[in-house]
Structure 1
Amino acid sequence: MTISTTHRPATDLGRLLRKHPDRVQAFEQSFGTAWVMYPEADEERCTAALLLEVDPARLAKAHGRGSGDASLSQYVNDRPYAASSLLAVALGKVFNSARGGTSAERPELAAAAIPLEVALAAVPCKGGPQLVRDLFAPLGWEVEAEAVPLPGFDKDSRHVRVRLRGELRLSDALSQLYVLLPVLDDAKHYWVDIGEVDKLVRSGGDWLAAHPRRGLITRRYLAHRKSYERAALERLLDGAETESHVDEEAAEAETERALPLHRIRIASVLGALREAGAASVLDLGCGSGKLVAELLKDAQFTRVTGVDVSSRALEQAERHLRLDRMSERQAKRLRLVQGSVVYRDKRFAGHDAAVLMEVIEHLDLGRLPAMERVVFGEARSRIVVVTTPNAEYNAAYGMKAHQMRHADHRFEWDRARFTEWAEATAARYGYRVRVEGIGAIDPEAGTPTQMGVFDRD
């Protein structure tokens, strides 16, 4: 694999990769040796090459340990000659710092999008050139992909020659390659366990949640293990607006290049809580803990309680928040509990603010009165913040009438219906409410998310 830039001075690529252009460096892997070298390096253009020399005997020994596989295919295969999961593993280790987006020497450059060109001579691809385009084009790449011909045969091989051009952060480009190379091949060389879910979510960042082919990516990356796939999608989609019904144009619109919608939503909720002067916050339906994590970063919020009906979601929140590594002082500010917004719970009381972020649409309409009694009548926080999708905006995603963004949504309201519900609920329980939009504004459809901020004197 080669990766090039024309950002001047181009030799700064070596500083971002933390590999000096004047040296050839070797990195031992369990299956061979990875080499980094620079075929060209001047002020105008710089190219770094990652060359992986695979030792078939070492690979077979590592792969066959405990597998009982004694077939000849262990030794005779395309692994030494094609960019597959082996190259992805080497890329992850050799360029670990660059993939993390850190650079002590050039921090501003590491955070900036620069012109990049990636070339891969032979990638095994189950899906051909079109799948390469489907996976990389939505991420902002200009894609050239062509099948590699089989000499002496009237057909092409399963391998594809790939060239990508675009302006991206180097860390984003490396993370995308790290995830998508094994997806193209659909045949990882190592055993896949639950730890791969964490690696996928961490490496996928925000781009994977909005990707139109995220289902295929998740399925192949996790070696078609359905339980892992479900766990990964739950974590990726928690708080993310683009769901299974959203097509490619919708995903690109929602990503908004600068900041994904779920981040804008979290920022809006935090802004409302800060403006209200809340110190203790109850996050009802906390999922994997994205809002909780942001609350803990702000010293204003001295007590945070995360609640979810799903024990699996709470386990994911513990991992996401790194509860086992959290300092004692920080841990004292946090409490994670299992509970439901439709059942009276004494633990919900005593908080300055309660948040239901993308929660109410998952309730049957007949259970909304129970939720209202529990949250507004029993818990009775001084501030209540509610966000929910704006059904009118679905048309901007290219969705059909009455189509909802997620299979688990029981309803999605337009702006008039949400305002009607918010004002009636506020009047019934002695609150005032203001309704505002979150996200990019469409002149006709409004914003993708609507938020109600309830307060009482």
Structure 2
Amino acid sequence: MLVTISCTRPAGAAWPATDLGYLLHKNPSRRQTFEQSYGVAHVLYPEASDERCTAALLLEIDPVRLVRGKSKGTPDFSLGQYVNDRPYAASSLLSVAISTVFGTALHGRCAQRPELAGTALDLRIELPAVPCKGGPEYAERVFAPLGWTVAATPLPLDPAFPEWGDSHYVRLELTGTLRLAEALTHLYVLLPVLDGSKHYWLDTAEIDKLLRFGEGWLTAHPEREWITRRYLTRRHTLVRTALARLAELDDQDPEELGALEHDCDDEGPGTEPAVPQAVESGERAPSLAVLRRAAVHRALLTEGAGRVLDLGCGQGALLLELAADRALTEIVGIDVSMRELKIAARRVRRLPEWQARRVTVRQGALTYTDASLRGYDAAVLMEVIEHVDATRLKALEQAVFGAAAPGSVVVTTPNSEFNVRYDGLDAGAFRHSDHRFEWTRAEFADWAHRVGATHGYAARFEPVGPEDAEVGASTQMAVFTRKNNDDDAAKGAA
């Protein structure tokens, strides 16, 4: 089993291509060997020059180690455990090797060259044999949306007998300009997805891995439901939980969570779910993300807002919904991530002209005051505050409630009490790895009343989503209304 990663030095760059060794934490001048539970991993550099450098990860798989310790009574015991493609075809075994051998690079860290870790590189990744039962188009549909140019060549069953046709393996070549950490996370998640199976037992920890390594790209991927289902090998409970937690990111409308429980091995990306989740009315229940945006929209209309700020707009899901409402005359999306803003801007450009002309997106940090944000009717912080470090939260409060001082502010955040209703979410765990905190209803109310008293707002609270008699709703929302708007506005103008 083999994967090669090649880096070409850009024209005019001051650093040599061999600096790839710094990112991988593997010296190009020598071969290194790493023992794995299932065999041995070797790292070597078949090419290392100033202009181009190639690192190779070669796995020697011991099939006996894969089944060592399994008894005949286990469901996995079969001849297939001994006669399989695992020594040769890229699969979850390669993903595990990437995480153990290239773990520092996978997490985007490089103490010696931190600036290079954040630099997009000209990369070429080659894998001689990748299981892909759906054919080359499946590889294209999962890798191409991430910025890769994909060349997937079917491998024949036997070159000596071309009439037998092609196998379900492809030679995969990926070229693109990406950060190395991004490239490795794509491989880590998507190689097991194309294979459709894993060599180890799956538990709820796999959900955390999927969300952690899929952060920044999975929620926006057009095949995210298929990827999630395949990564979790169609384990229904795990899939439902993963999609519920993906919904918390609020980048796109998630599919209804019960609609993705298919076991067809040949079902490919883009396949429409065939089993909708029914409710008493016979219709699909709207997702939490849809309910959350609708609640925010209603709150803005109730407050009579015309000019609205979406602070922490991400990829623009709320912007698109608000743009369809003619009552909102100006909508501005602010986010610190240029990558998110590029996606949001692209989605806005696809809107009808009468909607798109009222929407603006631009970069900004919510913990710094910005005079241009003053004077708006309302601001929205939808699933934002929980991503802010506690030490920076007061800076956000001052920037939004103190400096910008809109007429009203709508804030939504997870209700941590509801977490016990999510299957597979461990006690005390957060719904997403980037959350700095998750508040109970009482904690959220205490925060809202303190902020309101400090900056002259009154707060009211609304649940979002179906309410549980014991733990409330999944999302909690506070609507802040500025007291004595006219007097304050006059003072601000003065």
TM range (shorter): 0.5 to 0.7
Q: Do structure 1's residue 183 and structure 2's residue 193 form an aligned pair?
A: yes
2:371 and 2:419 mapped to 1: Cα distance? Answer: 26
Closer, same or farther: CA 147–62 of 1 in aligned 2, 3 Å: farther
| Contact 2:336–2:365 (Cα < 8 Å) also in 1 | no
* SS of residue in 1 equivalent to 2:84: coil
Which segment is superposed worse, 194-203 or 311-320? 311-320
Partner residue of 1:227?
Answer: 237
Matched length: 352
Partner residue of 2:377?
Answer: none
* SS of residue in 1 equivalent to 2:68: helix
Partner residue of 2:450?
Answer: 350
Pairwise CA distance, 1:311: 3.9
Pairwise CA distance, 1:70: 3.2
Closer, same or farther: CA 310–265 of 1 in aligned 2, 3 Å: farther
CA deviations over 1:291-318 (Å, ceiling 9, x no partner): 3231524163599x98545744486895
Aligned ranges 1:121-200 → 2 under 5 Å: 121-151=128-158, 152=161, 153-200=163-210
Partner residue of 2:111?
Answer: 104
1:66 and 1:348 mapped to 2: Cα distance? Answer: 57
Partner residue of 1:319?
Answer: 429
Partner residue of 1:385?
Answer: none
* SS of residue in 2 equivalent to 1:259: helix
Pairwise CA distance, 1:109: 0.7
* SS of residue in 2 equivalent to 1:135: helix
CA deviations over 1:320-362 (Å, ceiling 9, x no partner): 4999xx9xxxxxxx77214799xxx788533337899xx9996
Match of 1:260 among 340, 349, 353: 340
Closer, same or farther: CA 215–317 of 1 in aligned 2, 3 Å: farther
Pairwise CA distance, 1:381: 6.3
Report the residue type matching 2:338 in the other structure: A
Partner residue of 2:5?
Answer: 3
Partner residue of 1:118?
Answer: 125
| Contact 2:120–2:180 (Cα < 8 Å) also in 1 | yes
Q: Do structure 1's residue 15 and structure 2's residue 22 form an aligned pair?
A: yes
Pairwise CA distance, 1:66: 7.5
1:219 and 1:212 mapped to 2: Cα distance? Answer: 14
1:195 and 1:183 mapped to 2: Cα distance? Answer: 17
Match of 2:86 among 68, 79, 99: 79
Pairwise CA distance, 1:227: 2.4
Pairwise CA distance, 1:154: 2.1
Pairwise CA distance, 1:182: 0.2
Report the residue type matching 2:390 in the other structure: L
Pairwise CA distance, 1:47: 0.5
Partner residue of 1:300?
Answer: 394
Aligned ranges 1:390-429 → 2 under 5 Å: none
Closer, same or farther: CA 69–267 of 1 in aligned 2, 3 Å: same
Q: Which one has the bigger helix percentage?
A: 1
Closer, same or farther: CA 339–134 of 1 in aligned 2, 3 Å: farther
Which segment is superposed worse, 2-11 or 222-231? 222-231
Percent identity between the two aligned chains: 42
| Contact 1:307–1:338 (Cα < 8 Å) also in 2 | no
CA deviations over 1:366-423 (Å, ceiling 9, x no partner): xxxxxxxx955xxx665xxxxxxxxxxxxxxxxxxxxxxxxxxxxxxxxxxxxxxxxx
| Contact 2:8–2:53 (Cα < 8 Å) also in 1 | yes
Pairwise CA distance, 1:9: 0.7
CA deviations over 1:57-82 (Å, ceiling 9, x no partner): 11121666983533211110000011
Pairwise CA distance, 1:272: 7.1
Report the residue type matching 1:258 in the other structure: M
* SS of residue in 2 equivalent to 1:83: coil
* SS of residue in 2 equivalent to 1:160: strand
1:350 and 1:306 mapped to 2: Cα distance? Answer: 16
2:254 and 2:137 mapped to 1: Cα distance? Answer: 21
Closer, same or farther: CA 87–65 of 1 in aligned 2, 3 Å: farther
2:106 and 2:464 mapped to 1: Cα distance? Answer: 37
Pairwise CA distance, 1:237: 3.1
Closer, same or farther: CA 89–335 of 1 in aligned 2, 3 Å: closer
* SS of residue in 2 equivalent to 1:336: coil
Pairwise CA distance, 1:183: 0.3
Closer, same or farther: CA 3–85 of 1 in aligned 2, 3 Å: same
Q: Point out where structure 2 has 5 or more consecutive residues left out of the alignment.
A: 10-14, 256-268, 271-313, 318-334, 345-360, 375-379, 398-410, 467-476, 487-491
Report the residue type matching 1:26 in the other structure: T
Partner residue of 1:368?
Answer: none
Match of 1:52 among 29, 46, 59: 59
Pairwise CA distance, 1:146: 1.3
1:272 and 1:238 mapped to 2: Cα distance? Answer: 27
Q: Point out where structure 1 has 5 or more consecutive residues left out of the alignment.
A: 278-282, 327-333, 364-373, 383-428, 433-454
| Contact 1:33–1:54 (Cα < 8 Å) also in 2 | yes
1:257 and 1:162 mapped to 2: Cα distance? Answer: 31
| Contact 1:144–1:162 (Cα < 8 Å) also in 2 | yes
RMSD: 4.5
